[in-house]
Amino acid sequence: MRNINHKARFHLGKAFLGITVRDVVWRSTMLGDIGGKHAVIVITSPGEVGRALSENFSVGAHVKKAYQNLGYNVVPATDTSKIVQKNTADAIAFDFGTIYETDWHGFSFGMSVRNFSDETQFSYDGFQLPLTFRIGGSLELLGFTPLADKSQSLVLALEALHPRSYPERMNIGLEYSFMRIANLRMGYLYNYDERGLTYGGGVKIGPLSIDYALTPFGIFDNVSRVSIGIAK
């Protein structure tokens, strides 16, 4: 019988993402000039937890708050009067998922559900956040060849997405790692409007890791992403 150490890992923190568009002004003969900034804001509240139920099986969950502000507009109140209406909406959403790691050639698979929420109200319409189901897996390919050793690895990852609001998509990726110091990555995003092939790489020096990704993004040309991490 294996000795399984059941430990829960709790993450506390707050992430803030804000996008503010230019000021917009409406002309009203009764109310004068009105308007404001168009903004979309997502706030992630403290509330993440992950737990290893065994040496191979883990679960996790995350709670977040989404808020949207689309400025103001004039709406009729009566036949002779109008009022200024503020266009805002907010909702509490949950993400949760599982992952299982096997002992066969580094094969692991998992699933997740993102943006699970109640219906929220915007103006006179009710809607839900873009619920997305994901399922995927990864496999160490060099384990099937004579090149298999601890100094290098080649991992194939596949992920299928089932969104509520648009057609199914698939993500495919390859990562080659040498001595756990340098990585080269290549991927393909299937059934996306503006994206297809992606490229990237990274280095790890002690606790410091630096990663770079390049995504040709159609009308946005090439999009570059850089991330820096520190871990024990």
Per-residue pLDDT reduced to its tens digit, 137-187: 999 999 888 887 888 999 999 999 999 888 999 999 999 999 989 999 999
The burial class, CB within 10 Å (0-12 / 13-18 / 19+), for 75 is exposed
Q: What is the DSSP string of 71-90?
A: EEEEEESSSS-EEEEEEEEE
Going by pLDDT thresholds of 50, 70 and 90, the confidence category of residue 203 is very high
pLDDT at position 204 is: 94
Note the pLDDT of residue 157.
97
Taking a C-beta distance cutoff of 8 angstroms, is the pair 229, 204 a contact?
A: no
Span of 9-13, 126-130, 197-201 with lowest mean pLDDT: 9-13
Provide the 3-class DSSP secondary structure of residue 195.
coil
8 A C-beta contact, residue 213 and residue 198: yes
Question: What residue spans define the domains of the chain?
Answer: 1-92, 130-232
What angle (nearest 5°) sits at the alpha carbon of residue 97, between those of residues 209 and 49? Answer: 70
Average pLDDT over residues 55-80: 80
pTM, entire model: 0.71
> What mean pLDDT value characterizes the chain?
80
Say if residues 87 and 70 touch (Cβ distance below 8 Å): yes
Confidence at residue 221, expressed as pLDDT on a 0 to 100 scale: 86
